[in-house]
A and B are shown apart, each in its own frame.
Chain A
């Protein structure tokens, strides 16, 4: 980083994605202020600027208070996507010792939780009673809480269908949907260039921070002149 900061002649670009933490982002922003030749850009090419202040369902953030036993987190990282919701869940966890089941790939989380990595169909079978331990948690619960996000639709199931299905199974179920991926939103609000592909200045000395080598990544850097670091 010292080499980059002292080199005032060359152009550098630092590429991040939405998984980057806010503090790191703030740090990189300060680096960009010191050396104007450093450009911070994100890998995501499409960012939705619209926002929603309502939950798509009848339950809202206050429903967390009425849940006393089990919370299922489905296709969501509440810590990143809605810090306020996560704080409310954590406060509730401290007061009532909730059981949290995370139906996701494992990630760093600040509430003790059990990660269950299943595909969509098998995840739904939990609520049909096919998995003894997990299903019992849901069946015995007075008012289970499910947190879902926009990614849920991307996994191939309509949210409305899921809600209808769950309400048939459990009358007292609470479902909270967290709209929009907040980190993607934050990249927009932090004034970071989001289109690497069309920005020639970005395609010189490129530092990629914690990015996966996948199709989206390679597509963005087809025209890159130098090697990626």
Chain B
């Protein structure tokens, strides 16, 4: 075990652990956009910057491994200023359309701007526009909202096994998209909706139906296959509005199939709403009032 200091407190951590994971094990949450437990590390959002004693610049905690005697500060004035700058950079081209965004209320960017961002902007030029991509009937894209965390790109190539999305161009012209226009043809494509930290990739069937704070949540399991994936059902009154995965390391980790995610609308049609009585003489079901 390696002895490290986090915010002046000593901890023993397994060697080879990254700073972000070490902080997670001791109960300190570091803000992040691009880092995800199930995906490889890319370190391009710079939101997880922390200060290490003896270093002049802040370092990305998702990329840096701990070493013996290292002293980390996760909430110093230096780190706060660095995070403020990162958030300001991300907001340069992010449209402030939260009132019409489906992600509003559960948006990582919205939460982190509120927690770590500056009160006002210093950018008064036009924001860039990016053409929306057609990902098929399940995923809606509004690419001007994209902050290029590349979670969807990594999910496609690493987990789903299809190189559908990629990063095009450089610098301020960077775009996420497919070079040749095509559908995201995967049986687990809907998971990019959950992975996207902003409202760039949202669910088409759920679009503009409800706000997350209006919905009630129930835990259940997937009935559409024998795996029994754990999931949450979001409903309002008696109607199901969407299905989300529930993390269970023993079964589905954080993934559910598209079938489980999008086949909820048939529940409304298949549901038995009346009491029936079977009449053997007529061989028919008759409704009882």
A214: interface (CB < 8 Å) = no
Per a CB cutoff under 8 Å, which of A88, A91, A185 touches B224? Answer: A185
The answer to whether A82 and B138 touch across the interface, beta carbons within 8 angstroms, is no
Question: In the complex, how many angstroms separate the beta carbon of A25 from the nearest chain B beta carbon?
Answer: 9
Question: In the complex, how many angstroms separate the beta carbon of A77 from the nearest chain B beta carbon?
Answer: 10
Q: How far is the CA of A189 from the CA of B253 in the complex (A)?
A: 23
A182 to chain B: which residues have CB within 8 Å? Answer: 224-226, 257, 259
The answer to whether B250 and A84 touch across the interface, beta carbons within 8 angstroms, is no
The answer to whether B228 and A53 touch across the interface, beta carbons within 8 angstroms, is yes
Per a CB cutoff under 8 Å, which of A60, A82, A90, A94 touches B225? Answer: A82
Binary flags per residue of B239-252, CB closer than 8 Å to A gives 1, else 0: 00000000000111
B218: interface (CB < 8 Å) = no
Q: Most chain-A CB neighbours within 10 Å: which of B162, B227, B251?
A: B227
Stretch at the interface among B62-70, B103-111, B180-188: B180-188
B266 to chain A: which residues have CB within 8 Å? Answer: 189-191
Chain A contributes a number of interface residues (CB within 8 A of B) equal to 37
The answer to whether A87 and B137 touch across the interface, beta carbons within 8 angstroms, is no
Q: How far is the CA of A126 from the CA of B221 in the complex (A)?
A: 37
Q: Using a CB-CB cutoff of 8 Å, which residues 204-226 of chain A contact chain B? A: none
Q: Using a CB-CB cutoff of 8 Å, which residues 167-190 of chain B contact chain A? A: 183-189
Q: How far is the CA of A110 from the CA of B184 in the complex (A)?
A: 13
Binary flags per residue of B102-137, CB closer than 8 Å to A gives 1, else 0: 000000000000000000000000000000000011
The answer to whether A190 and B263 touch across the interface, beta carbons within 8 angstroms, is yes
Q: Is the interface of B mostly helix, strand, loop or mixed?
A: loop
Closest-by-CB residue of B relative to A192 is: B266
Per a CB cutoff under 8 Å, which of A27, A87, A186 touches B259? Answer: A186
The answer to whether B259 and A22 touch across the interface, beta carbons within 8 angstroms, is yes
B269: interface (CB < 8 Å) = yes
Q: Using a CB-CB cutoff of 8 Å, which residues 71-104 of chain A contact chain B? A: 79-88, 90-91, 94
Q: How far is the CA of A111 from the CA of B127 in the complex (A)?
A: 41
Closest-by-CB residue of A relative to B135 is: A23
Q: How far is the CA of A86 from the CA of B225 in the complex (A)?
A: 13
Chain B contributes a number of interface residues (CB within 8 A of A) equal to 39
Per a CB cutoff under 8 Å, which of B38, B136, B224 touches A186? Answer: B224
B187 to chain A: which residues have CB within 8 Å? Answer: 21-22, 79-80, 83, 86
Question: In the complex, how many angstroms separate the beta carbon of A38 from the nearest chain B beta carbon?
Answer: 16
Stretch at the interface among B10-18, B24-32, B153-161: B153-161
Q: Using a CB-CB cutoff of 8 Å, which residues 1-49 of chain A contact chain B? A: 21-23, 26-27, 30
The answer to whether B159 and A84 touch across the interface, beta carbons within 8 angstroms, is no
Binary flags per residue of A49-63, CB closer than 8 Å to B gives 1, else 0: 001110100001110
Per a CB cutoff under 8 Å, which of A30, A62, A110 touches B250? Answer: A62
Closest-by-CB residue of A relative to B252 is: A84
A180: interface (CB < 8 Å) = yes
B253 to chain A: which residues have CB within 8 Å? Answer: 87-88
Q: Using a CB-CB cutoff of 8 Å, which residues 233-289 of chain B contact chain A? A: 250-253, 255-259, 262-263, 265-266, 269-270
Binary flags per residue of A162-202, CB closer than 8 Å to B gives 1, else 0: 00000000000000001110100110011100000000000
Instruction: Answer whether A30 and B223 are a contact pair too, CB < 8 Å, given A21-B185, A90-B161.
Output: no
The answer to whether B223 and A82 touch across the interface, beta carbons within 8 angstroms, is no
The answer to whether B255 and A87 touch across the interface, beta carbons within 8 angstroms, is yes
Q: How far is the CA of A183 from the CA of B102 in the complex (A)?
A: 30
Question: In the complex, how many angstroms separate the beta carbon of A178 from the nearest chain B beta carbon?
Answer: 6
B188 to chain A: which residues have CB within 8 Å? Answer: 83, 87
Q: How far is the CA of A91 from the CA of B265 in the complex (A)?
A: 30
Q: How far is the CA of A190 from the CA of B184 in the complex (A)?
A: 20
Per a CB cutoff under 8 Å, which of B160, B223, B252, B262 touches A110? Answer: B160
Question: In the complex, how many angstroms separate the beta carbon of A68 from the nearest chain B beta carbon?
Answer: 19
A79 to chain B: which residues have CB within 8 Å? Answer: 187
B229: interface (CB < 8 Å) = yes
Closest-by-CB residue of A relative to B270 is: A191
Question: In the complex, how many angstroms separate the beta carbon of B250 from the nearest chain A beta carbon?
Answer: 6
Q: How far is the CA of A53 from the CA of B229 in the complex (A)?
A: 9
* Contacts A23-B185, A87-B160, A91-B159 supplied; 5 other A-B pairs, CB < 8 Å: A83-B188, A84-B255, A91-B38, A189-B259, A189-B263
A→B interface (CB under 8 Å): 21-23, 26-27, 30, 51-53, 55, 60-62, 79-88, 90-91, 94, 110-111, 178-180, 182, 185-186, 189-191
16 contacts between A and B (CB under 8 A): A26-B138, A51-B223, A82-B227, A83-B258, A84-B251, A87-B253, A110-B162, A178-B227, A182-B225, A185-B224, A185-B225, A186-B263, A189-B266, A190-B266, A191-B265, A191-B269
Closest 5 CB pairs of A and B: A110-B161, A83-B257, A179-B226, A191-B266, A182-B225
